[in-house]
Amino acid sequence: MSKVEFNKEAGPREVFCGLTSIVWLHRRMPDAFFLVVGSRTCAHLIQSAAGVMIFAEPRFGTAILEEKDLAGLADAHEELDRVVNDLIKRRPEIKTLFLVGSCPSEVIKLDLATVAEKLNKRFLGQVRFLNYSGSGIETTFTQGEDGALKSLIPLMESSDEEKLLMVGTLANNVEDRFKKIFKNIGITNVESFPPRESTKLPKIGKRTRVLLTQPYLCETVRELKHKGCEIIYAPFPLGIEGSTKWFLAAAQSFNIPNLKVHEVITPLKTRALKALETHTKILKGKKLFLLPESQLEISLARFLHNECEMDLIEVGTPYLNKDLMEKELNLLPENTKIVEGQHVEKQLDRVRETHPDLVVCGMGLANPLEAEGIHTKWSIEMVFSPIHGIDQAADLAGLFSRPLRRNQILNTKTLATF
Ligand code: SF4
């Protein structure tokens, strides 16, 4: 284990809840519908996080129960039934309907698993109903995906076929590129979970090797292990280094020599290194502070330090699963300060004391920090942008170099006016 410094912190938090992940899950599985059992606050959150109209149903599969409907449990069940019936009638293309729980105490009292079971019986063969929690009390925003994927696993049939299963939502074009690279390496049976169509779930079994594309899927991993799948432990495919080690780990588990992997990816690496140069020039030596939100923080810190030469002040993460993150932690420089959990006020004090050049944080903290003259980057952008893979390394670096470059230009212009 790398000699990083582990700290834990608890207190007030400032993070998005798991409802946010609906935005990218719906994009990935357009035949699925996410019925948020929540209040107007929940609708507002998704609307502001996603920047889309929540009620534009063809684009965005969410519906909200009115607060008045949550006043009584009996009423809430009735209302849920009414909304579901209405939805299924109006939207026959819906194949999978996720009931997503939220925070209000009236919603917590509802047993959504039982509701889903009853609806499954009623709409047998037409729509499948699943449930998970997106509540801010239980989840941070990427954990919503973990809950959604976990709920799908019981529906996956078993198979003895040898295969590689990439687990975690990827942009479709990134998935296609990964599959092409794996094919060239010699791994031909590659599937993805979640799939592009919610009803076309991959079959799994003892000869399924799971390769995670996202670091925040602890519950999903646990369930896949219960189903007998083998987990390939590797750094995550962010940046050139992480992606290379990710491909190598997959190839090793299929007994493919490292040489074959290098043969396939070397041209990609050469191109990516060149493209990265412009960004490294801007990022080199700049101080970075990552506040906890997405659970991507450790992988991002590794990329931004090792490949873009940024200095790490502190790396926050909402949760730290040391099994899944061990390979990443080993790649961090010695004495990197990792903080699991959050006490937002203490963390902001440390931000102010250490004068970082860039802070990666949630949208709620970005504006106040910018107002104090501290430059920020929203963590949520990392889950909405196609950042995985060797050929995306420069784009990933660009997400961080752009705000710094913009500020450099602004500063130069300001000085020129004096
Ligand atoms: Fe809804 Fe709770 Fe998320 Fe607020 S934190 S949007 S109430 S689920």
Q: Are 158 and 227 in contact (CB under 8 A)?
A: yes
Q: pLDDT by residue (tens digit) across 58-99?
A: 334 555 665 555 556 666 778 788 888 988 998 888 999 999
With a pLDDT cut of 70, the percent of the chain lying above it is: 91
Ligand 1 pocket mutation, candidates 41, 106, 110, 112, criterion most atoms within 8 A of CB: 41
Q: Output the residue whose Cα is nearest ligand 1's atom 5.
A: 136
Distance CA 38, CA 110 (A): 11
E strand or H helix at 329: helix 322-329
At 5 the pLDDT is: 93
One-letter amino acid identity for 75? D
Q: How confident is the model at residue 362 (pLDDT cuts 50, 70, 90)?
A: confident
The pTM of the full predicted model, rounded to 2 decimals, is 0.91
> Does residue 54 carry a pLDDT above 60?
no
Q: Are 12 and 345 in contact (CB under 8 A)?
A: yes
Q: What is the DSSP letter of 164?
A: E
Tell me how far the alpha carbon of residue 141 lies from the centroid of ligand 1, in angstroms.
Answer: 10
Distance CA 347, CA 15 (A): 13
E strand or H helix at 83: helix 73-90
Q: Is 42 in the pocket of ligand 1 (CB under 6 A)?
A: yes
Distance CA 287, CA 68 (A): 49
Q: How confident is the model at residue 57 (pLDDT cuts 50, 70, 90)?
A: very low
Distance CA 375, CA 379 (A): 13
Q: Is 43 in the pocket of ligand 1 (CB under 6 A)?
A: no
As a whole number, mean pLDDT of residues 196-215 equals 97
Task: Count other C-beta atoms under 10 Å from residue 81's C-beta.
Answer: 14
At 152 the pLDDT is: 97
Q: Is 102 in the pocket of ligand 1 (CB under 6 A)?
A: yes
> Does residue 387 carry a pLDDT above 90?
yes
Tell me how far the alpha carbon of residue 136 lies from the centroid of ligand 1, in angstroms.
Answer: 5
Structure tokens at 390: 């060797």
Helical packing angle, 393-417 and 239-253, nearest 10°: 170
Q: pLDDT by residue (tens digit) across 326-350?
A: 999 999 999 999 999 989 999 999 9
Tell me how far the alpha carbon of residue 66 lies from the centroid of ligand 1, in angstroms.
Answer: 14
Tell me how far the alpha carbon of residue 61 lies from the centroid of ligand 1, in angstroms.
Answer: 17
